[in-house]
Amino acid sequence: MKKWVIFILSVLFIVVLAFWFSCNPFSDSEVNNTFDVLDGSGSSRLTITCTIVVNGSTWDGGGQTITAVGMGDGSQDEGQKAIFSITNGTVRNVTIGPPACDGMHFMGGNSTITNVSVPDVGEDACTVKKPGTYTISNSTLNEAADKVFQINDLCTITYSRNNCRNIVKYVQQNGGMTWKCTVYIDGGTLNNISDCIGHSYSPSSIFYHRNISSNLDRSKWFRGEMQVYEY
């Protein structure tokens, strides 16, 4: 009798552990586990069901396309999951296919995104969530129903040689905030923008730009209270 009780308890314990370490649905912060499945199409697609957490390392997609399942629908609904959560790390060489959910989150340190393609931006493509020094370069981010890049915390951030088309805004600092962010926009082709390239309510923020190519009238490139300089 006692043996049976121990056996059942052991099985239960193993099942709970396996569940916990695959995808913990009770975690209310950024999801800290990944559960990645190659879907068998020549290893060129990667189906994920949790945020990929990059911390102190480089995540190189090798040209694969990510498909997120159960993480959001790529609409303007808040509360969708990030595809990547990046702390002191690099994400490169990957396509984020639709639904692109809440894109990529910068979570601190010195972090970089390069050569990432998002053909159909979700709620937004990349958000500064915590203070840090960040770079996004040589990436393509199209079809954004609102902004492409969102800044929600202190940072120095460089957007370098990124291309976008059919977007509302390229980058905005969170609404109503007056803390400082320093933004560099260096190059890139930004076409069919319905609002502006940069927007901020903060007089202490500085937006530097150079070599931008855009079919938006230059008088509409920057809107708001921030300082704007060509460099």
Q: Which does 174 bind (CB under 5 to 8 A by kind): Ca ion, ligand ADA, none?
A: ligand ADA
Among the residue ranges 18-26, 122-130, 135-143, 223-231, the one whose residues contact ligand ADA (CB under 6 A): 122-130
Q: Which two tokens stand for residue 41?
A: 């199409």
Site for ligand ADA (CB under 6 A): which residue of 174, 189, 191, 227? 174
Q: Does 79 bind ligand ADA (CB under 6 A)?
A: no
Strand partners, 113: 91, 136
Sequence-separated contacts (24+) of 31-34 with Cβ below 8 Å: 31/81, 31/85
Q: Which residue's Cβ lies closest to ligand ADA?
A: 150
Which range in 43-51, 109-117, 119-127, 219-227 contacts ligand ADA by CB under 6 A? 119-127
Residue 124 touching Ca ion (CB under 5 A): yes
Report how far residue 120's alpha carbon sits from residue 123's, in angstroms, rounded to the nearest whole number.
10
Q: Note whether 127 binds ligand ADA by CB under 6 A.
A: yes
Angstrom CA distances, 105 to 18, 111, 129, 164, stand at 27, 10, 6, 19
Based on CB atoms, which residue is closest to ligand ADA, 137 or 150? 150
The CA distance from 171 to 174, in Å, is 10
Q: Is 177 in the site for ligand ADA (CB under 6 A)?
A: no
